[in-house]
Amino acid sequence: MKDVLVNVENLTRIFDVSKPWLNRVIEREEKKTLRAVNDVSLEIRRGETFALVGESGSGKSTIAKMIVGLLGLSQGKIDFDGIDLSQPDGAEMRALRQRYQMIFQDPFASLNPRWRVNKIIAEPLRQFDMESSESDRNRRVEELLELVGMSAKDGVKFPHEFSGGQRQRIAIARALSSNPEFIVCDEPTSALDVSVQAQILNLMRDLQDELGLTYLFISHDLSVVRHMANRIGVLYLGRLVEVADGKELFRNPRHPYTKMLLNAIPDLDMTGRKVAPPDGEIPNPINPPSGCTFHPRCPIATEQCKREIPPIRNSDAGSVVCFEAVCA
Ligand SMILES: Nc1ncnc2c1ncn2[C@@H]1O[C@H](COP(=O)(O)OP(=O)(O)O)[C@@H](O)[C@H]1O
Ligand SMILES: [Mg+2]
């Protein structure tokens, strides 16, 4: 049985990217909109890591922000454990808010530089009225610091006294303080050195096992999600073009875009495979190509791909949005 924790249906986000009204009138320009996320449906199962992968600008952060409620939806629906996030009442929303958290890419920007680490980590506890006494709160903060591999004494320091990797540990401790079940991680290691990246990824995996967490893990880099993800969704210009089990996606990629991304990963196993950087540029999302938006970069595109948007094709192995892909 699939036990779905987060269910996203037909999620769409449109941004108004017009110039200010006066400029538009003078320059006789129309209003411009940008579809950052276009009809995305996916489900995240309890206890798994669902990875969302795509080049910069493909809509990953926009999806993350909509799921955690930092950004409104233009269309679609998000369910968390069976509760529709767009219409909960006040008390329900409060109870829900405690159950998920987000970790951002840049641990330098996401931690308040004027607060001591103690206060930063305890913030969700205060926000949700979770620890009544100060000593309970202090104890919890010490426990969290140790959980993420830091010392209980680090709590009295300020964020600038730590390295990037340690700051990300602090951000993780803060995210965990309200005991969430679900954590959205938006490029949590992209700002870190490679060796530090691996340590943080390992920590996140250990925490997942220990606490039974569910992750939405976002990255522009398929090689980063390789050892993290149970399932992977590939985004291109706001559309989900393929979803598959992690191992299956690497073994048997179906969408031509997924293949292109995989070919760009360095050949660490020294199999002699040729490494090819992705072909072509991402088109301007304000003026996306017709039909399948990947067609200008696609090695197997046909006339039909230029005209028509491919339907989603589902199979046991996952889903793919392509007329030409071989769908086993
Ligand atoms: N607040 C905003 N206003 C206008 N356009 C935006 C805004 N946020 C994101 N976008 C645009 O939406 C697209 C997707 O952005 P984003 O979700 O940040 O992509 P990613 O995280 O995959 O790099 C990009 O073209 C970006 O320029
Ligand atoms: Mg982003």
- The predicted-structure confidence for 131-157, as pLDDT tens digits, reads as follows 778 888 899 999 999 999 999 999 999
Cross-strand partners of 114: none
> Distance from the CA of 273 to the center of ligand 2, in angstroms?
30
Amino acid in position 85: L
> Distance from the CA of 234 to the center of ligand 2, in angstroms?
14
CA nearest ligand 1 atom 24, residue: 57
Above 80 in pLDDT, residue 104?
yes
Angle between helices 164-176 and 134-147 (to 10 degrees): 130
- Which of 62, 222, 239 has most ligand 1 atoms within 8 Å of its beta carbon, as the pocket-test mutant? 62
17 lines ligand 1 (CB under 6 A): yes
Looking up tokens 């606490």 gives 211
The gap from C-alpha 48 to its chain's centroid, in whole angstroms, comes to 14
Separation CA 257–CA 230 (nearest Å): 20
* CATH T-level topology, domain 4-99+181-266+273-320: Rossmann fold (3.40.50)
Looking up tokens 């197997």 gives 300
Above 90 in pLDDT, residue 85?
no
Segment (H or E) for 4: strand 4-16
CB-based contacts of 261, cutoff 8 Å, min separation 6:
53, 222, 234, 278
pLDDT at 88: 65
pLDDT at 270: 65
b/e code 27-63 from CB counts within 10 Å (16+ = b): eeeeeeebbbbbbbbbbbbeebbbbbbbbebbbbbbb
CA nearest ligand 1 atom 27, residue: 57
Separation CA 311–CA 308 (nearest Å): 9
Structure tokens at 277: 């950087």
Amino acid in position 99: R
* Residue-wise pLDDT tens digits, 40-80: 999 999 999 999 999 999 999 999 999 999 999 999 999 99
Q: Is residue 121 within 8 Å of 170, Cβ to Cβ?
A: yes
Separation CA 273–CA 295 (nearest Å): 25
* Beta strands at 75-80 and 83-84: parallel, antiparallel or unpaired: antiparallel
Structure tokens at 29: 């320009």
